[in-house]
Amino acid sequence: MPTNKVTAWVGWVWFAAFALITVGLFNVVAGLVAIFSSEKVLAWTNSGLAIIDVSTWGWVHLILGAIITLVGFVLFGGEPWVRATAVVLVVLNLVAQFVSLPVTPWWSIVVIALDVVVLWALIVHGDEVERASA
């Protein structure tokens, strides 16, 4: 039976909004650094040595970061479509961070952990923001 009561757990979704803004801005900065870097990364695979162009992934991080930042700001309104969009973007960011793991392992691990907490907040307590903003 649904209730209209808003609990203190709504703070987790607001934390998720701030985290999305922060992660998005860091992705934008990391993307810009990678785009303007002429560095190529060597990675060993099962089939041999691969050369990875860092600037290509920079564009991915830049665009994804800009969209994540925007969605983070809009998430404070509590609209259900924004929460669904945020969940999809966080999953995409998780994939991008797993791909970037060989290049920036510590940063990727931190962002992956933060993304998991954001997913938990959005999925478990997301509906409370809608009630709080109504």
Structural domain contains residue 121: yes
Structural domain contains residue 76: yes
Number of domains into which the chain is organized: 1
27 near 61, Cβ under 8 Å? yes
pLDDT tens-digit readout, 94-123: 998 888 887 788 988 998 999 999 999 888
- State how far the alpha carbon of 85 is from the alpha carbons of 24, 31, 33, 90, 106, in Å: 14, 21, 26, 9, 27
Structural domain contains residue 14: yes
Angle between helices 54-74 and 10-35 (to 10 degrees): 150
Structural domain contains residue 119: yes
Residues 36 and 26: their CA atoms lie apart, in Å, by 16
pLDDT tens-digit readout, 34-90: 888 766 666 666 777 666 677 788 898 899 999 999 999 998 887 888 999 999 999
As to burial, measured by CB atoms within 10 angstroms (0-12 exposed, 13-18 middle, 19+ buried), residue 17 is buried
Structural domain contains residue 2: no
Owning domain of residue 14: 10-133
Q: What is the pTM of this model?
A: 0.79
Structural domain contains residue 104: yes
**Two tokens, residue 113:** 């952990």
Structural domain contains residue 4: no
Structural domain contains residue 117: yes
